[in-house]
Amino acid sequence: MRLQLTMPPPDQTQRDTASNGPQRGAVLAAALALPGVVAAETAPTDGLIAFKYLWYHDLQPGLSRITVNSPSVYTLLPVGPSWSVEGTVIVDAISGATPRYHTAISGASRMHDDRTAGELKLTRYFRRAAIDFGVAYSGEHDYKSAAGSVGLRLSSEDNNTTLAFGTGFTSDQISSSDGKVSGETRQVNDFLAGVTQVLSASDVAKINVTHARGRGYFSDPYKEVDVRPRQRNQTAVLTQWNHAFAGDATLRTSYRYYWDTFGVNAHTLGFEYAQGLGSGWTLTPALRYYTQSAADFYFGPDYDPVLGAPFPRGYSTNPPRYSSPDQRLSAFGAVTVGLRIDKRFGAWNVDFRYDYYQQRGDWRLGGDGSTGLDPFTAHFVQLGIAKRF
């Protein structure tokens, strides 16, 4: 079973990397090192190995749902003066109860699954450019995914402007453990274009536009009356602005607008404030707000008077072409509050992060949220250790 966490994915994956050249403090260097800005087209001279352990747990009132234990290892290796290779291996152990999507439906079946995933990327650096090639694979007993990607970065002579372009392809194979779904497939083409601009000695801005074109099976094989269109186009615009203050502190802000052909429109606003405390310590509180509209074919707990739950109203007389009770397709708002603590000593870095997430229908901004859904809560705990060599 492929697990999709209810919490929307983060807008930007942050990674500890070795940096070259003079620094104005570790916090400022990390804050301004948006992809393709600081020595973007210079091959790394140091290697890096990092271990991360993520514990995730979500729940609804009266129902402790999913628990995920996910260790991962990341490695960056320079290869000569112009190449680098990166690799990540992740192993997930997933257990718990399937979600209770509507308050009126109290049943939840038990589930357990394991996932193994890996990613490999090779990068070639030129004087004002870098090109990377990536492959990835993820496997579960009922879901397999293979992907490939190509990315290009071009920098100006003064390194103040960087253009980024990318494309990727993903092919999924989908089935269900109960045999109701077998041999289904899905293919997705991804495209990215972006620009990163150094505005001043203290400010860096970035904008990315991504577009995905998907064809194939998008329904959930474990939900009744879940029939979705066999194509889905998704577009997102992400803007980021980082500002460094005196005293080794940085404010990172982001805004993301998303829309798709399922009818979902979403806004994400994020803030992080990284404060250096001296002696290698950094404290980073974070706050994020997310809001989305419902998919065109989502239905809440208003059931057909003849057939009853889980069939939507009108199903007995005029069955809809598409329908889904999936809470992730409902209209809701969500807040994430987090705190990260870093300690750097020599070539080593240790970090701890905790995030608390809560989702409610009446927290949606700009309109009424979906009703009849229990609040959804999730906890994220992450531990990491990294070493440059």
The CATH number of whichever domain residue 171 belongs to comes to: 2.40.160.40
Selection from 141, 150, 92, 156 nearest residue 118 by Cα: 92
Selection from 129, 123, 134, 69 nearest residue 96 by Cα: 69
Task: Quote the tokens at residue 349.
Answer: 């870095």
Contact 206, 234 (CB under 8 A): no
Q: What angle do CA 57, 59, 61 make, to 5 degrees?
A: 160
Question: In the chain, how many domains are there?
Answer: 1
Does residue 261 belong to any structural domain of this protein?
A: yes
- pLDDT reported for residue 112: 79
Residues with Cβ < 8 Å from 233, sequence gap 6 or more? 211, 212, 213, 214, 260, 261
Dihedral angle, C-alpha 326, 330, 333, 336, nearest 10 °: 20
- pLDDT reported for residue 103: 61
Contact 70, 117 (CB under 8 A): no
The overall longest dimension of the chain from CA atoms, in Å, is 72
Task: Quote the tokens at residue 246.
Answer: 């005196």
User: pTM of the predicted model, to two decimals?
Assistant: 0.86
Query: Residue 56's beta-bridge partner residues?
Result: 68, 380
pLDDT tens for the chain, residues 1 to 389: 443 333 333 333 332 322 333 233 333 333 343 433 344 568 899 999 999 999 999 988 887 888 999 999 999 999 999 999 999 999 999 887 666 667 644 445 667 788 999 999 999 999 999 999 999 999 988 899 999 999 999 999 988 999 999 999 999 999 988 888 899 999 999 999 999 999 999 999 999 999 999 999 999 988 889 999 999 999 999 999 999 998 899 999 999 999 999 999 999 999 999 999 999 999 999 999 999 999 999 999 889 999 998 899 999 999 999 999 999 999 999 999 999 999 999 999 999 999 999 999 999 998 789 998 889 999 999 999 999 99
Does residue 10 belong to any structural domain of this protein?
A: no
Does residue 15 belong to any structural domain of this protein?
A: no
SS3 assignment, position 315: coil
Task: Quote the tokens at residue 102.
Answer: 């509507």
Selection from 153, 191, 193 nearest residue 35 by Cα: 153
User: Residue 332: how many CB atoms within 10 A of its CB?
Assistant: 25
Does residue 278 belong to any structural domain of this protein?
A: yes
> Distance between alpha carbon 250 and the CA centroid of its chain, in Å?
23
Write the DSSP string, 350-361: EEEEEEEEEEEG
Does residue 2 belong to any structural domain of this protein?
A: no
Task: Return d(Cα 357, Cα 365) in angstroms, integer.
Answer: 17
Does residue 21 belong to any structural domain of this protein?
A: no
Query: Residue 23's beta-bridge partner residues?
Result: none
> Distance between alpha carbon 302 and the CA centroid of its chain, in Å?
32
Selection from 209, 377, 238, 364 nearest residue 292 by Cα: 364
Range of the domain at 315: 26-388
Does residue 12 belong to any structural domain of this protein?
A: no
SS3 assignment, position 367: coil
Tell me: cis bond preceding 301? Omega within 30 of 0 counts.
no
Alpha helices in the chain (DSSP H): 26-32
